[in-house]
A = this chain, B = another copy of it.
Amino acid sequence: MTQKTDFNFFHPLRVRWAEVDMQRVVFNGNYLLYFDVAFTEYWRATGLRDPLGQQKSGKELFVRKAQIEYHGSAGFDDELNIGVRCAKLGRSSMTINIAIFRGDDHLIDGELIYVYADTQAKKSTPIPDAWRERLAQVERVKPEGV
């Protein structure tokens, strides 16, 4: 069971009008948009170079697999907190766990698997050591009482 204390990083986000559908809840596909926004902020927080800005190096992150579990639903103007953590680092892949909370309500669980790839050769390429070190650092120490 996912808990707030599983995460060292949270990004706050308020639900926009256009993201809500006729069922008066956020359209199910928009959570992947939220995941993307939260992952961008997580990455910024690590201080590592933007993986998408590295287009000159010809290496970029691509999503290989995404999974979402909907436990509850967010509505218009809700203030959400999105927890993000790097759960696993493979040779060229990275597993990111995400959970969305509204206050103490746990609404959404998600998982994104990214692959780091050479865009010319269209082949996966090793994740840089600098990322590996920094991400280990970021995720090692759990804060006491988030």
Contact assessment for B27 and A18 in the assembled complex, using a CB-CB cutoff below 8 Å: yes
Residues 61-96 of A contacting B (Cβ, < 8 Å): 62-70, 73, 76-77
Contact assessment for A52 and B65 in the assembled complex, using a CB-CB cutoff below 8 Å: no
Protomer copies: 4
Count chain A residues whose beta carbon lies closer than 8 angstroms to a beta carbon of B: 34
Min CB distance A103 to B, Å, is: 18
Min CB distance A120 to B, Å, is: 13
Complex interface bits, A90-120 against B, C-beta within 8 A gives 1, otherwise 0:
0000000000000000000000000000000
- A28 to chain B: closest residue by CB: B63
Contact assessment for B18 and A33 in the assembled complex, using a CB-CB cutoff below 8 Å: yes
- A27 to chain B: closest residue by CB: B18
Bound-state Cα–Cα, A30 to B69, Å = 17
A37 contacts the other chain (Cβ, under 8 Å)? Answer: yes
Complex interface bits, A35-50 against B, C-beta within 8 A gives 1, otherwise 0:
1110010000000001
Contact assessment for A40 and B77 in the assembled complex, using a CB-CB cutoff below 8 Å: yes
Contact assessment for B67 and A67 in the assembled complex, using a CB-CB cutoff below 8 Å: yes
Most buried by B among A22, A36, A52: A22
A57 contacts the other chain (Cβ, under 8 Å)? Answer: no
Bound-state Cα–Cα, A66 to B63, Å = 15
Q: What are the 9 tightest A-B residue pairs by CB atom distance, in nearest-first order?
A: A29-B32, A28-B63, A18-B27, A66-B68, A29-B33, A67-B67, A65-B69, A16-B37, A18-B33
